[in-house]
Amino acid sequence: MNKKMCDLINAKKVILMDFDGTVADTEPLNYLTWVKCMNDYGLEFNEDYFKKIIGKSLTEIASTLEEIYQSKFSKQDFLNGLPKFIETFKELEQKNDVKIFDYVYDILNNFENTPKYIVSNQSKEIINSVLSKHGIDKKFVKIISCMEEKTNKEKIYENAEQIFNVKPCECLLCEDMDKYIEMGKKFGMATIGVQHKYNKKIVADYVINMNDGLEREN
């Protein structure tokens, strides 16, 4: 593991990790799931649409889809379709291997005594499905799904002391979305960013670039 990453982690008491595109390479499968689910509504879904919703909260996704499809797909259609989305993802997961990024195993194996939490907009059912398949579901203290706990990442970061028993500045945040990295920085968190084909340029204390299929320092 890179010394810079080690130093970042050693300086913090808690590690907060996003899930999609940060812990696991789920974005390609998320995209296929969206394509299938929207096709079931008779609607086209493409990568440009996917890039508009990636990393967003439920409310933001619902509003974005309504803007894209106008009267053809409402916020209520989206909310009603969530169980089908989860079911479709899990069906596709059985046929497609979802990779856990190597740097995640490095963190799990080398910093066993540092508490780790998943903080994600994704469904807890999907997160548990992927983590348990790789035998690492017990490595995390808790999975916090903003979707199911009806909260958002900013509130979680801001209230770190109540949720994780440490100040925000004592947390390391691993994320693949620039806006959440900026939120973490605002509260004094150290940040590790994951760059991939679906996100914009990441600016973090340490960046792992996945664009060429390899994990390397940016």
> Token pair of 135, please?
């035998």
The domain limits of the chain are 3-25+98-217, 28-95
> For the segment 104-145, what is each residue's pLDDT rounded down to a tens digit?
999 999 999 999 999 999 999 999 999 999 999 999 999 999
Tell me: pLDDT of 103 over 70: yes
Contact in structure between 194 and 176 (CB atoms under 8 Å): yes
Tens digit of each residue's pLDDT (9 = 90 or more) over 163-179: 999 999 999 999 999 99
The mean pLDDT value of the chain amounts to 93
What is the average per-residue pLDDT within 11-32? 96
pLDDT exceeds 90 at position 2: no
pTM over 0.85: yes
pLDDT score, position 217 = 57
Q: Which residues, 6+ apart, have CB-to-CB distance to 46 below 8 Å?
A: none
Of the pLDDT bands very low, low, confident and very high (cuts 50, 70, 90), residue 71 is confident
Query: Using 50, 70 and 90 to split pLDDT, how confident is the model at 32?
Result: very high
Q: How far is the C-alpha of 92 from the C-alpha of 95, rounded, in Å?
A: 5
Confidence check: pLDDT of 214 > 70: no
pLDDT of amino acid 197: 87
Query: Would you put residue 216 in left (φ > 0), alpha (ψ -120 to 50) or beta?
Result: beta
111: which 2 tokens? 């910093």
Q: How deeply is 42 buried, as exposed, middle or buried, from its count of CB atoms within 10 A (0-12, 13-18, 19+)?
A: exposed
215 pLDDT band (50/70/90 cuts)? low
H/E element holding 120? strand 116-120
pLDDT band at 87 (very low <50, low <70, confident <90, very high): very high
- The whole-number pLDDT of residue 94 equals 92
Which CATH number among 3.30.70.360, 1.10.287.70, 3.20.20.140, 3.40.50.1000 corresponds to the domain 3-25+98-217?
3.40.50.1000
**pLDDT for 212 beyond 70:** no
Tell me the helices (H) and strands (E) count for the chain, helix number first: 11, 7
Provide, rounded to the nearest whole percent, the portion of the chain with pLDDT above 70: 97
